Amino acid sequence: MSTDAAEPMLEVEDVVHNYGMVQALSHVSLLAAKGEFLTILGSSGSGKTTMLRVISGLERPSSVRRLRIGGEDVAHLPASRRNCTTVFQSYALFPHMSVVENVAYGLKIRRMNTRDALAEARRALAMVQLEAKADRRISQLSGGERQRVALARAVVTQPSVLLLDEPLGALDERLRQDMQIELMELQRSLGITFVYITHSQEEALTMSDRVVLMSQGKIVQSGGPLDLFDRPASRFAAGFMGYENILEGELIGREGDAGIVEFPGGVRIRGTLTSAGLAPGAKVALAIRAERIATAPTGAQEGLGARLISRVYRGKYTDVTVSTGAGALRLRIWHGAADETEEIQRVGWNTRDAVIFAAE
């Protein structure tokens, strides 16, 4: 196995998978580097689990050009001979075994002797802060603790790639946030390549080195968390990443990645182009987050006249809707902010916060 960090640990090229008439994966390719935390993000049914099952060998794809783990072609190897392990949302633990026996199980079936297997298992339990509960029954653990056992059981075999299918999905919000941090720390300390599935953009942005956004069996966009958050390159990506305002107009000029969009009433707004190949005359959409819109724009910002339509008090902030020459805009005004109580006559934002992509 290569130790070169730039070398991909996981290579999937052009996988297609059909379940009968349903195309679950449509020419999907992805790479994960050694030690990388890669997240596959997408709504239910987008093909995430199918992708993991193809990588792990639980599903034989309809076709794939290349499937390698650690440089080795695994396309024709059974799941048991691929150097990867999957952690599922349903923990799939053995209820009649103790915690440490559950973790040691995978080592024993790999023919490690019992004493060494139990010692390794205790070390893995220490990594997930569970060594004190090693001798308990599974039924004596909370949901969060069971998920930790499942993690310890997965990492104890030292896979090259750990696949995680919505592992925190069954936990409540508070515990999920704590576990996100723990998982990240575990991944950094082990240096194992993680391929993590989630439908939660917040989870993806918190944990990942890189995010792959999927929709309907295809990869829509991939990049660092900030690329996806601040530079969505399509209407789908902007919507999925939570952009409240998406306005349609025509691109009338561009210079580098700066563009000018004209709206039906003649209003023009400057923004930043995120998709390649857009020429003046193209139908485009301009997207901006509610919280990036100010009600007292500075001279350096892009500004527009505005009239209040509605205000909804939400505790920590107020959601405001205004009408402008470019259309209705949603704003979020945080309580305690300088512009909180002012009457709204103008709104504005920094040009880089308004992103422009093809209208589709």
- Applying CB under 6 A, the residues found at the interface with ligand ADP are 19, 22, 24, 42, 44-50
Closer by beta carbon to Mg ion, 39 or else 245: 39
Q: If 0-12 CB within 10 Å is exposed, 13-18 middle and 19+ buried, where does residue 248 land?
A: middle
CB of 107 to Mg ion, least distance (A): 28
**What residues does 142 pair with on adjacent strands?**
none
CB of 20 to ligand ADP, least distance (A): 6
Sole window of 41-49, 200-208, 238-246, 292-300 interacting with Mg ion (rule: CB under 5 A): 41-49
Q: State the Cα angle at 84 between 78 and 89, rounded to 5°.
A: 105
CB of 42 to ligand ADP, least distance (A): 5
Please give the C-alpha separations between residue 222 and each of 73, 78, 112, 194, 199, in angstroms, as whole numbers.
24, 29, 40, 16, 15
**Contact assessment for residue 224 and residue 349, using Cβ atoms and an 8 Å cutoff:** no
Closer by beta carbon to ligand ADP, 195 or else 304: 195
**3-state class of 279 per DSSP?**
coil
Sole window of 48-56, 148-156, 173-181, 263-271 interacting with Mg ion (rule: CB under 5 A): 48-56
198 binds, among ligand ADP, Mg ion, none (CB under 5 to 8 A by kind): none
Closer by beta carbon to ligand ADP, 43 or else 114: 43
Closer by beta carbon to ligand ADP, 5 or else 22: 22
Sole window of 49-57, 281-289, 322-330, 342-350 interacting with Mg ion (rule: CB under 5 A): 49-57
Q: State the Cα angle at 181 between 180 and 187, rounded to 5°.
A: 90
Q: State the Cα angle at 347 between 345 and 353, rounded to 5°.
A: 180
Tokens of 38: 């890669």
State yes or no: residue 46 binds Mg ion (CB under 5 A): no
Closer by beta carbon to Mg ion, 40 or else 260: 40
Closer by beta carbon to ligand ADP, 49 or else 221: 49
CB of 9 to Mg ion, least distance (A): 22
Residue carrying the six token digits 């070169």: 4
- Please choose, from the candidates 181, 88, 87, the residue with its C-alpha nearest in 3D space to the C-alpha of residue 129: 181
CB of 237 to ligand ADP, least distance (A): 16
State yes or no: residue 49 binds Mg ion (CB under 5 A): yes
CB of 49 to Mg ion, least distance (A): 3
Closer by beta carbon to Mg ion, 133 or else 199: 199
Restricting to residues 249-278, name those near Mg ion by CB under 5 A. Answer: none
Q: How many residues belong to the chain?
A: 360
CB of 189 to ligand ADP, least distance (A): 28
CB of 327 to Mg ion, least distance (A): 36
47 binds, among Mg ion, ligand ADP, none (CB under 5 to 8 A by kind): ligand ADP
Strand intervals (E) in 34-115:
37-41, 66-69, 72-73, 84-87
CB of 185 to ligand ADP, least distance (A): 26
State yes or no: residue 39 binds Mg ion (CB under 5 A): no
Enumerate residues 6+ apart whose C-beta is below 8 A from 61: 15, 16, 17, 25, 54, 67
Tokens of 227: 């690329």
Enumerate residues 6+ apart whose C-beta is below 8 A from 188: none
Phi-psi region of 315 (alpha: psi -120 to 50; beta: other; left: phi over 0): left
208 binds, among Mg ion, ligand ADP, none (CB under 5 to 8 A by kind): none
Closer by beta carbon to ligand ADP, 19 or else 334: 19
Closer by beta carbon to ligand ADP, 169 or else 224: 169
Sole window of 29-37, 45-53, 87-95, 241-249 interacting with Mg ion (rule: CB under 5 A): 45-53
Enumerate residues 6+ apart whose C-beta is below 8 A from 94: 101, 102, 105, 138
Q: Which residues bind Mg ion (CB under 5 A)?
A: 49
